[in-house]
Amino acid sequence: MATLKDEALAYIPKQTKNIADLEKFDISEPTEQRTGTDDKDAEYNYYVLIRDEEEYRIPNGVMDTIKNLIEASAKHNKELKYLSVEKKGEGMKSRYSVITLED
């Protein structure tokens, strides 16, 4: 039987991963919508990409950019498959760049 000390030292807190943590992703990967509450108990919705049973949060601005890239690619008869997201900054000051990739 493990002790509280052993369990506490082995404990790894669950962290929210971000889509920018992935080197690249396929736009056909599964996503789900989640609901959270902010510090004022107001509900908000957000999306997560699911890979290998891990969830990666997709910021709203990134989702909007991906939508625009898909629409622009379709307009030019190009198929968009892989993307990458680069993140600069922390917290509310985070800025994201979405990059299209080849196979």
Instruction: Give the DSSP H or E segment for 75.
Output: helix 60-75
Rounded to whole angstroms, the Cα distance separating 33 from 93 reads 23
pLDDT score of 102: 84
What are the structural domain ranges in the chain? 14-101
What type of residue is 83?
Answer: L
In tens, the pLDDT along 25-58 reads 999 999 999 998 988 999 999 999 999 989 999 9
- For residue 58, give the nearest of 89, 94, 9 by alpha carbon: 94
Place 15 in a pLDDT band, splitting at 50, 70 and 90: confident
pLDDT score of 16: 78
pLDDT score of 76: 94
